[in-house]
Chains A and B, each alone.
Chain A
Amino acid sequence: MIRFIQPGTFTTIQDLSRAGFQSSGVPECGAVDKFSMKCANLLVGNLESEPVLEITLFGPQIAFENPAVVAVTGANLLPMLDGETVENWSSFAVPAGGILSFGGPVTGARSYLSLRGGIHSSSVAKVMGSYSTYVPGGFGGFDGRPLKAGDELEIRERNLNEFKHKAFSSHPQFSENALLRVILGPQDHLFTEDSISVMGDSDYQVSVDSDRMGIRLEGTPLAHLNSPDVVSDGTAFGTIQVPGSGLPIILSADRGTTGGYPKIATVISADHSKLGQLLPGNTVRFNVVTREMALKALREQERTLDSLRDVPTVSSIVKVAEERIDVVDEAGEMYPFNAAGNRFNASVRHNDHVENFEINIED
């Protein structure tokens, strides 16, 4: 069991997302920086999708009643064990009676704390298929709210002796000046041509009004061609919407499922991690890229995570057709692949999580 002596600025339980309920108006939720969150779980040998603690700015002080193995990733909020600094982006053992605390933000905004074995389901609520806390709606996670002093979480029992210390050496560096790659659209045609170049050439500052719903920016306003209203339509993580003020808002995990402002561009998936790490006052610059560049960047990011994953080996290719091949792994299980040209993307289910990798077929 762990007990919160101090809760920190804003500490919530989050998993990957609450997928499947946006058509009921329920936000996606989940960790804002999913890359760091997955990393935290992999470092302690958990499933990537296991709920973790999302720690914002000033971290909590947590007393461990039993020995545990934990990992801290994401922002460097100065993690400390019994007053001694511990390495960020690595897993470490906490003895019974150990106290984990945080000194304060050095770089980045959100840190992820994973616990080997995971948080026991008696301590957290799975609502609509997810443990993620949605604070405005008051549901999910720990009682639908951020953690408070005195709160306790049960940790699932797991053999801690099997555990090997792991560190993630190729982790990202979060900067005060974030370069965010974007794909234009879906409504870039509703802005003046000037605005598109202004967006690519200007520095924007992250406003203090930023939260898990969205990152508000200050800087040069972007001009709409006509009205700043569109018929309400859907949104995505990283969508940049521009209301009447002309100041962009980057939509995040707890965004409303629909919006009525024109959307000039969307931050690519490989840079979503950086969105979770922006602090008020940080500078943001946008760089327009193509869809192909975005996919390449995402694959590269996935590959860095593969170093922490236990990816099954493909033993044989059994069928090759124009749009599809099937492969068999060492255990004899068959997986379908989808093709794009001579490159195939594979999605391999491994227990209850999905691993993705790609193969190039040469003649």
Chain B
Amino acid sequence: MTILPESTDQSDSYPQITDIGDSALMVLLGEGVSPLTNSVVHTMVREIQELGWPGIREVVPVYSSFVVHYDPLILSPSALTTLIQNIHGSVSSENTAADRRVILPTIYGGDFGPDLHSVGELTGCSVEEIVNIHSGTDYLVYALGFSPGFPYLGDLDQRLHCPRLDSPRVEVPAGSVAIAETQTGVYPVPSPGGWRLIGRTPVSLFDPLQDAPALLKPGDRLRFMPIESEDDYREIENKCNTGEYEAEVIYL
């Protein structure tokens, strides 16, 4: 049930605001996945959250859309729709630059990245090339979702594109750094998974007992930093376990 009529003019077609049942609205800001649209998503979500309207329960951003959960006994969907349209009209469509870069030390290959060699065979890249390409760029955190703390990361280099595993692993260890198709990601908690594991970070991406349980925030830039030896990995891992390690965050 789309509330707004479809427009033939592309620039006027968004936001598309649609009911998800009687107590949530889906707000779609564009087709596909783009950093620009995603940046507008997060700007709008922040503005709605800061308004703190009674009746707005929660606002959940994803790639090019967000969901506003509301209490229909307190807030009418038409009032909420007007609010969203007004905010959309007032936000700049310019890409707001990320304000944080989070560095994740990562050990590639061996027992930590059991699929590194198969990725090499599938892509024709050497192990060194894979590590250099994968760790040589910043990844945009489009959103967190799927499981606690799991980052949806943007835009894996085309040279590393390869299919998912034929049969998914029953359990992927926490911290596993993986790639599949056009994506790369990190598993914050142990879970089943069909992506190819190329490495592992000892840094915890999700701790339910922290005030901010997820290390990453939407809009962050994430950079993988190769760890040279297993000894170095164990040293960081020990510091993580005793709470001495603090993830490196660079404010841009």
Known contacts: A23-B60, A233-B63, A269-B72. The answer to whether A256 contacts B20 by CB under 8 A is no
Whole-angstrom distance from the CB of B30 to the nearest CB of chain A? 10
In this assembly, does B116 line the interface, its C-beta being within 8 Å of a C-beta of chain A?
no
A22 and B61 CA atoms in complex are apart in Å by 9
A19 and B49 CA atoms in complex are apart in Å by 13
In this assembly, does A139 line the interface, its C-beta being within 8 Å of a C-beta of chain B?
yes
Name A24's closest neighbour in chain B (CB-CB): B214
The bracket for how many chain B residues form the interface is 35 or more
A201 and B144 CA atoms in complex are apart in Å by 37
Identify A24's interface contact among B23, B33, B71, B144, CB under 8 A. Answer: B144
Known contacts: A291-B1, A291-B19. The answer to whether A298 contacts B60 by CB under 8 A is no
In the complex the two chains form, is A24's CB within 8 Å of B149's CB?
A: yes
Chain A interface mostly: mixed
In the complex the two chains form, is A232's CB within 8 Å of B152's CB?
A: yes
Name A22's closest neighbour in chain B (CB-CB): B60
Name B209's closest neighbour in chain A (CB-CB): A127
Q: Report chain A residues within 8 Å CB of B213.
A: 21, 24, 26, 128
In the complex the two chains form, is B20's CB within 8 Å of A236's CB?
A: yes
In the complex the two chains form, is B208's CB within 8 Å of A127's CB?
A: yes
In the complex the two chains form, is A256's CB within 8 Å of B18's CB?
A: no
**8 extra interface residue pairs, beta carbon distance < 8 Å, beyond A20-B58, A24-B213, A185-B26:** A22-B60, A185-B19, A233-B26, A269-B72, A291-B19, A294-B21, A338-B75, A338-B76
Q: Report chain A residues within 8 Å CB of B236.
A: none
Identify B73's interface contact among A183, A233, A238, A298, CB under 8 A. Answer: A298
The bracket for how many chain A residues form the interface is 35 or more
In the complex the two chains form, is B33's CB within 8 Å of A231's CB?
A: yes
Q: Report chain A residues within 8 Å CB of B206.
A: 24-25
Q: Report chain A residues within 8 Å CB of B124.
A: none
Known contacts: A232-B62, A234-B60. The answer to whether A239 contacts B20 by CB under 8 A is yes
Q: List 10 A-B contacts (CB under 8 A).
A: A24-B148, A26-B213, A185-B19, A185-B26, A186-B18, A235-B67, A236-B67, A257-B146, A266-B19, A295-B72
**Contact digits for B77-109, partner A, Cβ 8 Å, 1 yes 0 no:** 111000000000000000000000000000000
A269 and B69 CA atoms in complex are apart in Å by 12
In the complex the two chains form, is B22's CB within 8 Å of A268's CB?
A: yes
User: Which residues of chain B from 104 to 152 have any CB-CB distance to chain A below 8 Å in the complex?
Assistant: 143-150, 152
In the complex the two chains form, is A184's CB within 8 Å of B214's CB?
A: no
Q: Report chain B residues within 8 Å CB of A356.
A: 71, 73-74
**Contact digits for A6-30, partner B, Cβ 8 Å, 1 yes 0 no:** 0000000000000111111111000
In this assembly, does A302 line the interface, its C-beta being within 8 Å of a C-beta of chain B?
yes
In the complex the two chains form, is A25's CB within 8 Å of B21's CB?
A: no
